[in-house]
């Protein structure tokens, strides 16, 4: 957030905070969220290169949930889908590490 925008909000009585503070998340919970988001973005990238829907038993709605990082989708399913699309361990490790 731009410093001037933050100052204006705080001057108006608003409290500016992080997602972790707002939701009272532990560092571990934040890390899991970041990992899930990274894997979802990588899945979307690979899916755009290939057609996951045609190459797997996943429905369009399930793929959409995976790409949106829906909490009902397990990290196991994200990784399995990535591997089925040709992602390597290195691709997944890079996504998880945030690089």
Give me the CATH code for the 26-97 domain, please: 1.10.260
pLDDT greater at residue 57 or residue 33: 33
Nearest to 33 by CA among 22, 21, 20, 42: 20
Q: What is the pLDDT of residues 8-50, one digit of tens each?
A: 999 999 988 888 999 999 999 999 999 999 999 998 888 877 7
Mean pLDDT (the chain, rounded): 86
CB neighbours of residue 37 within 10 Å: 14
CA distance 38 to 34: 6
17 alpha-carbon distance from chain centroid: 21
**Where does residue 36 fall: left (phi above 0), alpha (psi -120 to 50 degrees), or beta otherwise?**
alpha
Q: Which helix (H) or strand (E) holds 8?
A: helix 3-11
* pLDDT (mean) for 68-82: 89
Q: Where are the domains of the chain?
A: 26-97
63 alpha-carbon distance from chain centroid: 13
Confidence of residue 63 (pLDDT cuts 50, 70, 90): confident
């Amino acid at each position: 957030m731009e410093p001037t925008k933050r100052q204006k909000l705080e001057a108006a009585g608003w409290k500016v905070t992080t997602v972790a503070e707002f939701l009272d998340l532990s560092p571990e919970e934040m890390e899991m969220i970041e990992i899930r988001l990274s894997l979802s973005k990588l899945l979307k990238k690979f899916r755009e290169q290939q057609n996951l829907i045609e190459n797997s038993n996943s429905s369009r709605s399930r793929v959409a949930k995976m790409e949106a990082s829906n909490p009902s989708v397990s990290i196991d399913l994200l990784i399995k889908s990535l591997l089925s699309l040709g992602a390597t361990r290195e691709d997944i490790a890079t996504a998880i590490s945030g690089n």
